[in-house]
Structure 1
Amino acid sequence: MVVGLIITCEVGFWVLLAAGLAVRYLLKWRRTSVALLLCEPLLEVVLFVVTAVDLRNGATPSWGHGLAALYIGYTVAYGHHTIRRLDGHAAHRLAGAPKPVGPPRYGLARARHEGRLWLRTLLATAVACALLQGAIWYVDDGDTSSLRTFQWAALRTLGIHGTVALTYLIWPKRQPASAAVRRDEGA
């Protein structure tokens, strides 16, 4: 049941996002668009409540409950960022706004960008681990090994992402000489 709800929430996220952006840029209904986009967090609230009720009704903690916590953590940390990025692309494609600036590709600017993304992953991990720990305390006497496994998975993901982000700082990617020459010639 929980896994089906996670899939429904993910599909609902993209449907609400597409509807919100379509209403904003095609129909020019800004208030309706904001209302649709503000419904996005309700999906996570519903998922959280259903997961808690499922555990309360005696369900054995499973990988579905762990996945729900990871999903909620991810959407808390990356949901607004995703919406903002896609809003910029929709404004460009549908409303004639300038093309959104992509992430930096080289040097210290890229390292800072990767560091900010890692901080989002840190937030996602903190939220997911807190929810999982709350579920462990909530169940109290049952088998919570699957929930602990998901806590470790979240922490491993954080460590791997941190290592990757750190490599951009230690070994920054250099801009190709041909691109630098073209940029200087155009000035």
Structure 2
Amino acid sequence: MLIAVIVACEAGFWVAVLGGLVLRYVVGLRRTGAVLLALGPVLDVVLLAVTALDLARGGTADWMHGLAALYVGVSLAHGRRMVAWADARFAHRRTGRPLPERRTGWAYTRACWADVLRTGLGVVVAAGVIGAFVLAFGTGERTAALVAWLPVLAVVLGVELLWAVSSTVWPKRAR
């Protein structure tokens, strides 16, 4: 059941983004569109509540509970940037507004290091959620699958760090 909620929250995020952009640029309701665009954190709270409720009812944590924590961390850290990316492309198609220039060289490298910081924030949030669940619902076998996600979080941050290091050594060239 929890995987369905995770998928629904992800789909809901993109439906809210698309709906917000349509209201903004097609219908002309900028404020209503902005409200829809701001629903991402609400979906994160829903996912956290459902995950906590599942554990509070006596459920044993499995990989889906860890995935929910990772989803919330990544969503909070990268969500605003994903909305801005979609907004720029939608505005370009609807109003002809120019797309942001593709970054190259050191500008791209700086952006990669900013992504490391964002991903680091997402990992810290996910680890905090996991820690809160372990504190609230006990240690041992019941939450072992949650604790098993901590090395996965380190790998996620490590991959982002490797990408930034590689872009520092070999900066992206202009086409």
TM-score interval (norm. to shorter) = over 0.9
Alignment of 1:26-37 (within 5 A): 26-37=26-37
What is the TM-score of this pair, normalised by structure 1?
Answer: 0.88
Say whether the 8 Å CA contact 1:23–1:32 is kept in structure 2: yes
Say whether the 8 Å CA contact 1:60–1:142 is kept in structure 2: no
What one-letter code is carried by the residue in structure 2 that aligns with 1:145?
A
User: What stretches of structure 2 of length at least 5 have no aligned partner?
Assistant: none
1:174 Cα deviation from its structure 2 partner: 4.6
Cα distance per residue 1:39-80 (max 9 Å; x no partner): 221111011011111111110011111010000001001100
Alignment of 1:90-105 (within 5 A): 90-102=90-102, 104-105=103-104
1:170 Cα deviation from its structure 2 partner: 2.5
1:167 Cα deviation from its structure 2 partner: 1.7
Q: Which residue of 2 aligns with 1:182?
A: none
Look at both structures and tell me which one has the larger radius of gyration over its CA atoms. 1
Say whether the 8 Å CA contact 1:73–1:126 is kept in structure 2: yes
Equivalent-residue separation in structure 1 for 2:40 and 2:163 (angstroms): 30
Q: Which residue of 2 aligns with 1:126?
A: 124
Q: Which residue of 2 aligns with 1:9?
A: 9
Q: Which residue of 1 aligns with 2:137?
A: 139
User: What stretches of structure 1 of length at least 5 have no aligned partner?
Assistant: 180-187
1:83 Cα deviation from its structure 2 partner: 0.1
Q: Which residue of 1 aligns with 2:158?
A: 159
Q: How well do the aligned residues superpose, as a CA RMSD in angstroms? A: 1.4
SS in 1 for 2:88: helix
Question: What stretches of structure 1 move > 6 A for 4+ residues in a row?
Answer: none
Equivalent-residue separation in structure 2 for 1:6 and 1:27 (angstroms): 30
Provide closer, same or farther for how the CA distance between residues 100 and 111 of structure 1 changes in structure 2, counting only shifts above 3 A: closer
Provide closer, same or farther for how the CA distance between residues 161 and 53 of structure 1 changes in structure 2, counting only shifts above 3 A: same
Cα distance per residue 1:168-187 (max 9 Å; x no partner): 11333455xxx6xxxxxxxx
What one-letter code is carried by the residue in structure 1 that aligns with 2:165?
L
What one-letter code is carried by the residue in structure 2 that aligns with 1:159?
G
Alignment of 1:1-187 (within 5 A): 1-102=1-102, 104-105=103-104, 107-143=105-141, 144-175=143-174
Cα distance per residue 1:89-147 (max 9 Å; x no partner): 11111122122223x12x22221111011111111101101101111111214412211
What is the TM-score of this pair, normalised by structure 2?
Answer: 0.93
Equivalent-residue separation in structure 2 for 1:5 and 1:86 (angstroms): 23
